[in-house]
A and B are shown apart, each in its own frame.
Chain A
Amino acid sequence: MTSHGVLSVALYCALLLAVVKPLGGYMARVYQGEARAARRVLGPLERGIYRVLRVDPDERMSWQTYARAALLFDVAGLVVVYVLQRVQGWLPGNPAGLGAVLPHSAFNTAVSFATNTNWQGYGGETTMSSLTQMVGLTVQNFVSAATGMAVLVALVRGFARRASSDELADAHLGSFWVDLVRSTLYILLPLSIVVALLLVSQGVVQTFGANASAALVEATTDVDGHRVTEQVIALGPAASQVAIKQLGTNGGGFFAVNSAHPFENPTPLSSFVELFAILIIPASLPYTFGKLLGDTRQGWALLAAMLVVFVPLLALTVSQEQAGSPALASLPVDQAASALQAGGNMEGKEVRFGIAGSALWATATTAASNGSVNSMHDSYTPLGGLAPMWLMQLGEVVFGGAGSGLYGMLAFAIVAVFVAGLMVGRTPEYLGKKIEAFEMKMAALVILIPPALVLVGTAVACATEAGRRGPSNASAHGFSEILYAFSSAGNNNGSAFAGLAADTPFYDTALAVCMWGARFWLIVPVLAIAGSLAKKKTVPRTAGTLPTHTPLFVAMLVATVVVVGALTFIPALALGPIVEHLLAHGASSARGGA
């Protein structure tokens, strides 16, 4: 790693940690209904929404009702986004005159945005009208993130509920509608407005005008040999969508190449703002969690565990990319870093971001379940691409999605205290609640469903003709393209090794099934844990209680995450990136020897 690379990484992590406490504390106040300044401005809107929809803000939902509300809300979003894409040709807000999206593609995109995955099987500027991008996709960017945050808050209430004499009354998890509205209005909306305006100032486009057409300085020819003198420049209301796609760990870009597009991410400063926006909410939520429990040390411990996994994988990606592309090793090409160039593996990267700015993004976007890109992961070196893939395969718990990352991590924490309990022969407990068979079963479901979707999906794709037609690269890298796609869909990330031709009926459907399963089969067991914990009495802390805020517990938790992730995925990774690394390495050393 160059000194500039180290400096970039250190600066990013330091600034990120600096916002954890203020933002995390603010979010805790929002969910407790105590964010006074924000309520003065937006409170009338919040109360107005409740009045219009006749929502009782003090409604006490059981976990089953909470789960039903969340699922029905997301199904409603899915249906609306699907219909919108199918009829966009007849609706206004379509300056480029785009027609209906094909059914399988529209279905995939609807599931993708409703599940906070934001996998893009389509190219934004050539597929979606401005109206679809706004009313369909931007809305889902907000509400799918808000759903994840609401479910997390419900789980925290399950832990925090101190059962009183009247247990039945205390077993509720609050109102899904209130948590949804508060997450959207008080957290996502204000942050999005600030980020969107910062981005416009840097040159991210925000217009409803038609595409521009420019006269080329030097005329050129297209693939068919026709002379081309004009450059059509696609425009649109991008900044408003880009802000929330980053903040809500969504990742679905306005343009096909996402935040690599100069109009979606024009400068190093815009890139830093977007990169920062990826992680601020997932990194601050552990503090919110601690605050809501009344013990912030618990939150810091979870954040520490995330950082312990994140930083080494970040260092691996940055250093691998800086080392350069093996495909160019035998050519007279200068890949060394100097004062005049970043050097390294520049295929699929933009000059303004260079190696550090691209690799940092690739790691952050896959650690969080964001999935936006500012470089093409498919062209990363074998091990440089392995780190992002593995971060997704760990279950999107290292930061992870807004809300969903932390509830996934809490499932791992339950398993970690269970393992610790087995070691010392005590009934495990976490945060004052006994962990019993029911919680363990549900936590196991949360942890095992995503890998099952990823591995079965990859196997089906490799075993069928339709699946094998997808990869654009050959052999081991082709397998990596398939594995990456299912890892991304099965963990609601949404980034891609984009060489995979995924906009086919087979991939659109298979990936949609994975995205759907990974989102909703997880929300149900998570809320079941919350409901069960809410009914339990708090266990008094004794000398035999395992403290869960110590470095020892952080190490236990990291080991649980890494061991599960390694045992599940090393065989598959060995067939893809690891084999490719060995082939590239062997080939270059053979050339060197000859």
Chain B
Amino acid sequence: MNASMPEGVTDARPPPTVVALASRALGMLAVLTLVTGLVYPLLITAAAAIAFPEEAGGSLIVEGGRVAGSRLVGQPFEDPRYFWGRPSATKPVAYNAGASAGSNLGPTSAALHRAAARRVDALRASDPQNAAPVPVDLVTSSASGLDPHITPAAAFYQAARVARARGIDEGRVRELVRAHVEGRTFGVLGEPRVNVLSLNRALDALAAAGSRAPAQPVR
């Protein structure tokens, strides 16, 4: 409406008082809260529920009506029959998906050195024949404490131990690892990786299939 007035006329108006500005600020906040704090998240939630219901709900693995985990969240493994994931700094239990946390140990920290040394010892004790240097991701804790992945190097490093503990051929275990390697997205984004929970569940499925019908090849 002022656009039609001659230049300068509007400045005759006194500037708004602080009270007027404050009440307008509150009104503006209320309206923008409605738009960005309620309509926007509800809109995204509705769209997500229609287009990507599984992803929006946590990519849960449901088995026989029970949740067996999330494809995106790691679980703790210490048994030599399973592939181990990365050390986790969550409390009070490793891989606590209710309270994510990293170790935040600095690069010259003695505690970091000790934790890594203990982990090397544990890995070597579980597999005394393996003298290869340990892939770094197996001795360092992840940022989230929930990292679902290890590197292919870390998976192959453990293949012989898992095969021996399960009494199956190492070649089959390595083949299973290879089948679980995810490459870089579009060949450039991210890093090659292996989902530990998927791999271990596949191992258990292999064992179950083997005990049910020993003569059948697993395919």
Contact = CB atoms under 8 A, between A and B. Distances in A.
B8 A352 contact: no
When A and B form their complex, which 8 residue pairs have the shortest distance between CB atoms, in order from nearest? A268-B190, A499-B104, A354-B191, A260-B143, A477-B106, A169-B8, A340-B153, A341-B151
A215 interface: yes
Contact of A357 (B117, B145, B190): B190
Contacts of B45: 206-208, 237, 240
B67 A64 contact: no
Interface string A199-218: 01111111111011111111
Contacts of B60: 212, 214, 233
B165 interface: no
Given A223-B91, A498-B104, A477 B109 contact: yes
5 contacts: A56-B2, A76-B22, A139-B36, A169-B8, A200-B52
Contacts of B1: 56, 58
A435 to B, nearest CB: 26
A266 B54 CA distance: 14
Contact of B98 (A60, A126, A201, A326): A126
A216 B75 contact: yes
A200 B101 CA distance: 23
Given A327-B116, A353-B191, A357-B189, A218 B75 contact: yes
Interface residues of B, number: 118
A224 to B, nearest CB: 7
A379 B108 CA distance: 9
B120 interface: yes
B35 A45 contact: yes
Most chain A Cβ neighbours within 10 Å, of B69, B86, B142: B142
B116 A55 contact: no
Given A257-B144, A333-B135, 20 more contacts: A53-B28, A59-B2, A73-B25, A134-B38, A135-B38, A139-B29, A139-B36, A220-B95, A222-B93, A262-B146, A268-B184, A328-B112, A339-B192, A341-B136, A345-B140, A350-B147, A351-B150, A374-B143, A376-B104, A477-B106
Given A341-B154, A349-B142, A73 B67 contact: no
A73 B30 CA distance: 11
Most chain B Cβ neighbours within 10 Å, of A222, A240, A499: A240
Nearest to B134: A333
B58 A205 contact: yes
A207 B92 contact: no
Contact of A77 (B29, B143, B204): B29
A432 B201 CA distance: 69
A196 interface: yes
Interface string A162-192: 0010101110100001001100110001001
Contacts of B100: 123, 125, 234, 255-257, 260-261
Given A206-B48, A213-B67, A333 B106 contact: no
B40 A257 contact: no
Contacts of B27: 52-53
A335 interface: yes
B28 A584 contact: no
B29 A143 contact: yes
B208 interface: no
Interface in A228-253: 228, 231-235, 237, 239-241, 243-244
Contacts of B190: 267-269, 271, 352-354, 357
A580 B105 CA distance: 14
Given A200-B44, A327-B108, A342 B67 contact: no
A233 B110 CA distance: 32
A403 interface: no
Interface of B: 1-3, 7-8, 10-11, 15-16, 18, 21-22, 24-29, 31-33, 35-38, 40-41, 43-45, 47-49, 51-52, 55-61, 66-79, 82, 86, 91-110, 112-113, 116-117, 120, 132-137, 139-154, 156, 184-185, 188-193, 197, 200-201, 204
A19 interface: no
Contacts of A308: none
Contact of B142 (A75, A348, A380): A348
Contacts of A64: 15
A383 to B, nearest CB: 10
Given A49-B31, A267-B190, A126 B151 contact: no
Interface in A61-114: 61-62, 64-65, 68-69, 72-73, 75-77, 80
B105 A347 contact: yes
Contact of B204 (A213, A217, A353): A217
Contacts of B40: 138, 189, 192-193, 240
B152 A341 contact: yes
Nearest to B117: A331
A498 to B, nearest CB: 5
B107 A380 contact: yes
Contact of B28 (A177, A233, A325): A177
Contact of B146 (A7, A224, A261, A476): A261
A330 B148 CA distance: 28
B150 A348 contact: no
B188 A381 contact: no
B35 A189 contact: yes
A266 B31 CA distance: 33
A268 B191 contact: yes
Contact of A346 (B22, B57, B92, B136): B136
Contact of A473 (B59, B68, B99, B105): B105
B82 A382 contact: no
B35 A200 contact: no
Contacts of A268: 184-185, 189-191
